[in-house]
Structure 1
Amino acid sequence: MTGEGSGPQSIIRTEALSKWYGEVIGLNNFNLDVRPGITGIVGPNGSGKSTLFKLVLGLIRHNAGTITVLGRKPWGNADLHSSIGFCPDYESLPVDSTGREYLALVGRLHAMQGAELSKRIDEIAKLVEMGRALDRKTGGYSKGMKQRMKIAGALLHDPELLILDEPLSGTDPLVRKDIIDLIKRLNRDHGHDVVVSSHVLFEIERMTHNVVLIYKGRAVASGDISDIRDLMDKHPHNIIVEGRGIAAMAKLLLDRDYVVSVAFNDSKDSVTVQVSRPDDFFDGLPTLIDEAQCSVTKMYSLDDNLEAIFRYLVGR
């Protein structure tokens, strides 16, 4: 994936794409070039991820700019819809139907029927490890089972492109790992290109190196995760350090070139340190503690969240 150039390999491409709802901006001058593989879309709630997906799916029309999906314009393009599978972030399973009945309904919507449909349902259920739960009512499924069944519905018609909106939301760590492994297999072993969203960067890192960061309707950064991490490491961090003898450490910190400022909090045993290079601060901390002859009992970053990082990326 790259922000420069284009070609036949582009899965999703936008140029100066904008969408607004009255006075509310959904996407603003949004530029994106998604290539084959797995691409992660990361942003806080309200950043524009859902608007982007609706535009890709042809559910809404853009106000300005251009968008192509698999080389075609999505708005009003019914043929394109058969090439895309979508797993929404909301509950979409009919609670009084079994998994098999749900998948049969999805299949009929894609003009599948008879023995072909029955065979495909069994294949997909096995792929997402839901074969044993096919004949149970979906209302009794766990969160992880519901997510798997929604992914099964998105896969049933064998789409070229799979779009997963927050597929890990609300799942426990074990289920999360299983779904991440499934997503990777869908691309590696079955040839599906996948675009997956999350508001947790760590989750996306476990699936792919290709990442797009969205904030307030803009793509603020895109590329390899290592490049994204480099940008994030340049983000000034405010770190609170608490312990005994912290005043001596504060004096030493002022001589470090990666320290922007040091300020005492409510007591002499607590300081807020603003650093320009967090890695250098943490690497040098053991030496600082030894030189100051102090002890650190608690330490945490005030800026260790996507909102703070995105504000920095927008303003740089």
Structure 2
Amino acid sequence: MKETTDIDILVSEVGPRDGLQSVKATLPTELKLEWISALAGAGLREIEVGSFVSAKLLPQMADAAEVVAHALTLPGLFVTALVPNLRGAEAAFSAGIHKITLPISVSEQHSLSNIRKTHAQLLEEVQAIVALRNERFPQVQIEAGLSTAFGCTLQGVVSDDETMAFAVKMAELGVDEVGLSDTVGYANPTQVRRLFTRLFRELGPLAGSAHFHNTRGQGLANVVAALEAGVKTFDGSQGGLGGCPYAPGASGNIVTEDLVYLLESMGLRTGVDIDRLVAAREVLRRGLPAEPLYGFIPDAGVGKNFTYAREAV
């Protein structure tokens, strides 16, 4: 997404993809469209609306093209999707997507579990996707999201050098940005600050977003550490929905509502209206009544002393 001057931090909502792919029930398409409209209406400017993957593997994502078509009608919304392979990339490009995110597992065991590819096969796939984009869809941005960048439930420790080697390789292959994902909730603030500082040093403007899970309660602490390292884009999922179906023990993402409150209370403009954001949860309650929704702000409110960053003197 292009930088704007009226916000300080971009909050990228990934619930319609990361959240919905991780629950057993399938949210009906009409409710999915209503939810995305409500999220955009609350001021979210970037939404990952789905994943272009086999409907047999993830039936929750079978309507991805229809969802993208709707999202593209929402004024000012930057529409993104996850793409695991060349076939999915071509479908996403043809649907008119603004940006695709490639799930690049630093852990080869996770790569085999998640997208059934060795590292060698994965690099060939990235090269083919970038070539297709360059030849036929030059307007589309490509992000490499480095999964298990901070550790893996299958491999265990993932070293900084392993993560940075993949980051540099993605840049060499021609992606537009590289983000770091704490897929299984292993990251801690010291590690986050260290890795993102190194990512900016190695890649400069290609250093991208932070994607944290709150599996062990470190999510928002990791956001603060990433802010200190210079990160300007953070993923969040409404209600804390999400996880990774191919990583045992990986629970939900950080809660978008709590993330926005944290940033705004720190004096950082997000452009998001918290009341309207919380109200958007009602669509999930109707469509996924058995699914628990998390978050402190939806329960406690923002408090009488709260002031949006844009209103602060």
Task: Give the TM-score taking structure 2 as reference length.
Answer: 0.39
The structure carrying a bigger helix percent of its residues is: 2
| Greater Cα radius of gyration, structure 1 or 2 | 1
